[in-house]
Structure 1
Amino acid sequence: KVQSTEASNAIEGIVTTNTRIRQLVAEKTTPRNRDEQEIAGYRDVLNLIHENFDAIPITQNYILQLHKIFYSHMNNPMAGRTKNVQNYISATYPDGHVDTLFTPLASYETPEALDRICEEYNRVIGNMEVEPLIVITVFIHDFLCIHPFNDGNGRMSRLLTTLLLYRSGFYVGKYISLEAKIAKNKDLYYDVLRQAQIGWHEGTENVVPFIKYLLEIILSACKDFADRFALVETKLPALETVRRATMEKVGRFTKQDIRELCPSLSISSIEGALRKLVAAGELKREGVGKNICYYRLK
């Protein structure tokens, strides 16, 4: 939950310190500023989905309720309401420049369009006409093309992705953060979205690039989960478990990378094992503080 909450908000430039985000996700503190209010709201919706996904139908009303919860920690008059102004899908890059990628539907067209994609999704899923993963991806693509809210569309789309996957029996997002995988290559996310949105208003769009992208994210998460499960199943000593995890990594990696592969080990056990592997000459350690990384020597 920490990774998903942190990554999905970071994609939109909403950040706080690692310590603060862990405290917020664990509900051990209250938000101090707008960014933390939005992070707390994301946490609340994600928790609701984790615990009650089977009781959240895919309708406009429920999507609006999730959006209202999302903004429940701040005074946002548009929380739980569709947009009242024209908005744009844009990408902000590290050098600060912003690209407009797509112009979504006008505000007056939004409620009807949101109803329509929910009805179509429920019809196709109910009739089992198409593989659910394809239906989910097409729904998310249409949701992003409509861009129904003044703010929070990207994060809502990722929350809805998790909800739809859970409702169709795909639970990998409980164990591996899909949001973190998207955040690792944000530029690719924007590129495939831009490709798939060309011609959407005219009904001539090619959604295949976006389908392939999201399926690859899900497949990668499934592979990561299989790797973690294999390490847990072996029930090896911490040193050997960490050693095997380091062998799964190519190039430089961090303590957090190993922690993701060894969910059964405490952070102190991982740190101890890494120190022993460095002392044994199997690993090389570089950097200081938060910038520490490792790579295999043999």
Structure 2
Amino acid sequence: MRKFDYTKLPDELMHYELMNLISAIHEYKGKQELFIEAKPDILESMLEIAKIQSTGASNRIEGIYISDERLDALVKLKAEPQNRSEREIAGYREVLSLIHENYDHITPNTNVILQLHRDLYHFSPSSSGGKFKNSDNIIAETDASGKRKVRFQPLSAFETPDAVDRLTTTFIEAVNADKYDPLLLIPMFVLDFLCIHPFNDGNGRLSRLLTLLILYRSGYIVGKYLSIEMIIENTKETYNEVYMTAQLDGRKKTTAILPLLSITLKSS
């Protein structure tokens, strides 16, 4: 049984580079309210641009592509989706908007995660949206010779519901205890979520939405105005490799923290 423990962080996290990053992010966080009050018109424009960029980038990371014109129409005008890719993008748009507008009232527990996943596939009624995976899945890759190999084996479908319950409960307890900075806890939570890989599809996209949700709930709302997903897309090879390495060896979980903090800091 996989354990989730956020009550004691590894000593490696008390690294000067991490602490400097967190200190800088806190400094930017302290300035964001002043900017929001002083530049509301500019921020409104940035908000609309970031929605489009975030929706497009997070889906492109998963190989979901549409034209810029259709992306604009789907996000800005809420146009009716016309094919599978557009249905998945429209679902992401809906969940992103929900998080932007209601993050204070959305606690990342099991039921909420299921609801967000259901909404992610709202425009794909035949999908398994809102339901945990019904069969075991693997993370595989194809090498240069065309040979497919397994890189990571997530938790089984049988173990998944209980694992997500324990994951969310222990994480919420750790956040409420206020012992450690959320900036350290969030990437650990996301990594554990990806190690479970709780759904047949949509795990990567939902992990990025959960990252935004928890950042917003912790007071870091920069992702509303500058697309963190687009920054992830621009560094996705490094980002994916770090997370894959950490999934392959739980003892290396701390290696996933620095890249995510760097991404958050750059977006500030």
- Normalising by structure 2, we get a TM-score of 0.77
Alignment of 1:106-185 (within 5 A): 106-185=156-235
Q: Distance in 2 between matches of 1:98 and 1:216?
A: 32
SS at match of 2:64: coil
What's the CA shift string for 1:241-278, capped at 9, x where partnerless? xxxxxxxxxxxxxxxxxxxxxxxxxxxxxxxxxxxxxx
Q: Distance in 2 between matches of 1:98 and 1:9?
A: 24
- Pairwise CA RMSD: 1.9
Q: Which structure has the greater CA radius of gyration?
A: 1
Q: Shift in Å at residue 198 of structure 1?
A: 2.3
List runs of 5+ in structure 2 lacking aligned partners: 1-50
What is the letter of the counterpart of residue 134 of structure 1? L
Quick one: which of 32, 35, 52 aligns to 1:2?
A: 52
Q: Distance in 1 between matches of 2:176 and 2:88?
A: 34
Counterpart in the other structure of 1:206: 252
Q: Shift in Å at residue 136 of structure 1?
A: 0.7
SS at match of 2:151: strand
Q: Distance in 2 between matches of 1:190 and 1:14?
A: 17
Assess if the C-alpha contact under 8 Å between 1:91 and 1:190 holds in 2: no
Assess if the C-alpha contact under 8 Å between 2:108 and 2:210 holds in 1: no
Q: Distance in 2 between matches of 1:141 and 1:13?
A: 21
Say whether 1:15 aligns with 2:65: yes
Residues 90 and 21 (structure 1 numbering): CA distance in 2 closer, same or farther, change over 3 Å?
farther
Assess if the C-alpha contact under 8 Å between 2:59 and 2:65 holds in 1: yes
What's the CA shift string for 1:177-202, capped at 9, x where partnerless? 111011112211221012211233xx
Q: More displaced, 179-188 or 105-114? A: 179-188
Assess if the C-alpha contact under 8 Å between 1:53 and 1:163 holds in 2: yes
What is the letter of the counterpart of residue 162 of structure 1? L
Structure showing the higher helix proportion among its residues? 2
SS at match of 1:15: coil
Count of residue pairs brought into register by the alignment = 218
SS at match of 1:207: helix
Counterpart in the other structure of 2:85: 35
What's the CA shift string for 1:48-101, capped at 9, x where partnerless? 000000111111001000000110101234110100011123457999886643
SS at match of 2:252: coil
Identity %: 47
Alignment of 1:251-266 (within 5 A): none
Greater RCO, 1 or 2 (C-alpha within 8 Å, sep 6+) = 2
Q: Distance in 2 between matches of 1:93 and 1:164?
A: 35
Assess if the C-alpha contact under 8 Å between 1:87 and 1:104 holds in 2: yes
- Normalising by structure 1, we get a TM-score of 0.70
Counterpart in the other structure of 1:272: none
Alignment of 1:44-63 (within 5 A): 44-63=94-113
Quick one: which of 104, 107, 118 aligns to 1:68?
A: 118
